[in-house]
């Protein structure tokens, strides 16, 4: 659309610019389109066909194929690893790790140590003397305030045993805490089917960001955690790929 505010008497004289170079592949495609157009006006019998007689959609398909090739299809295992999450680290960030009490506590302690956080918080079925409890929105806000004051994130270990995951109430508690990030803590040595059932039940009730794996070095089949279809960002107390972190044993 012409600019209604332009004044021809004030316009600068136009300077002829050289035409941009056309890539060889595009030049060939443009020649093909020109040929299609010429055939539209003469079909060999001297009679001009009706507009659109040729399948112009095919030309557009060719153009799309040349300019936007299909992305490569990655195996599901590589797709899951395309994004490797890390625990949040800003002051006052609330990171909740949910799992069996021993697993959740172990993960939270290692995450806190890696971030130089001095204290951890607990929730759910976990009882820990001296630890801050986070049981509702009010206590979550208080824990965040402590994190801001100490310039550290807040790691909360939420105990959820296998026989409690199907009960009602725990998901409402997590929602009231309103964490910034949720991890599920799993033990690689447990039965894969049991772990998958528990993780899928948790993920069906609350948003889950990532998996933290414990015990991968103590089992002959640690790769089974890959079948959970969630990104794995913590393995045996360390983030994969960090300087001090060994590669997961199933990658060796």
pLDDT tens per residue across span 152-199: 999 999 999 888 888 889 999 999 999 999 999 998 888 888 889 999
Question: Which candidate, 234, 231, 214, 233, places its Cα nearest to that of 222?
Answer: 214
Query: Rounded distance, CA 213 to CA 237, Å?
Result: 8
pLDDT tens per residue across span 24-56: 655 665 566 566 556 655 555 555 555 554 555
For residue 118, pLDDT over 70 is answered with: yes
H or E, element range at 114: helix 101-114
| Count of CB atoms situated within 10 Å of the CB of 138 | 10
User: Which two three-digit tokens encode residue 139?
Assistant: 């206590």
The pLDDT value recorded for residue 40 is: 54
* Residue 7 pLDDT class (50, 70, 90 cuts): very low
Where in the chain does DSSP place strands (E)?
94-99, 121-124, 132-133, 154-159, 181-187, 210-214, 232-235
The mean pLDDT of the chain is 76
Query: Rounded distance, CA 82 to CA 74, Å?
Result: 10
* Residue 84 pLDDT class (50, 70, 90 cuts): confident
Query: What is the pTM (predicted TM-score) of this model?
Result: 0.64
Q: Is 40 exposed, middle or buried (0-12, 13-18, 19+ CB in 10 A)?
A: middle
pLDDT tens per residue across span 87-99: 999 999 999 999 9
């Amino acid at each position: 659309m012409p600019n209604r505010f332009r004044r021809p008497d004030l316009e600068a004289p136009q300077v002829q610019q050289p035409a941009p170079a056309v890539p060889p592949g595009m030049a060939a495609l443009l020649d093909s389109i020109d040929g299609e157009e010429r055939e539209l006006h003469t079909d060999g019998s001297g009679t001009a066909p009706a507009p659109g007689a040729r399948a112009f959609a095919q030309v557009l398909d060719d153009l799309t194929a040349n300019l936007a090739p299909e992305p490569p299809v990655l195996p599901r295992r590589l797709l899951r690893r395309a994004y490797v999450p890390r625990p949040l680290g800003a002051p006052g960030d609330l990171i909740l790790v949910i799992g069996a009490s021993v697993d959740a506590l172990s993960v939270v302690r290692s995450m806190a140590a890696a971030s130089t956080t001095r204290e951890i918080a607990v929730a759910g079925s976990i009882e820990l003397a001296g630890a801050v409890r986070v049981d509702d929105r009010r206590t979550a806000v208080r824990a965040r305030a402590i994190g801001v004051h100490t310039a550290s994130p807040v790691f909360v270990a939420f105990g959820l045993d296998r026989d409690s995951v199907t009960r009602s109430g725990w998901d409402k508690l997590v929602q009231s805490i309103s964490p910034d990030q949720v991890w599920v803590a799993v033990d690689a040595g447990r039965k894969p089917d049991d772990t998958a059932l528990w993780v899928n039940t948790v993920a069906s009730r609350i948003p889950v960001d990532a998996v933290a794996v414990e015990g991968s070095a103590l089992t002959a089949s640690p790769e089974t955690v890959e079948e959970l279809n969630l990104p794995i960002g913590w393995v045996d107390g360390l983030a994969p790929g960090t300087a001090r972190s060994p590669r997961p044993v199933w990658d060796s």
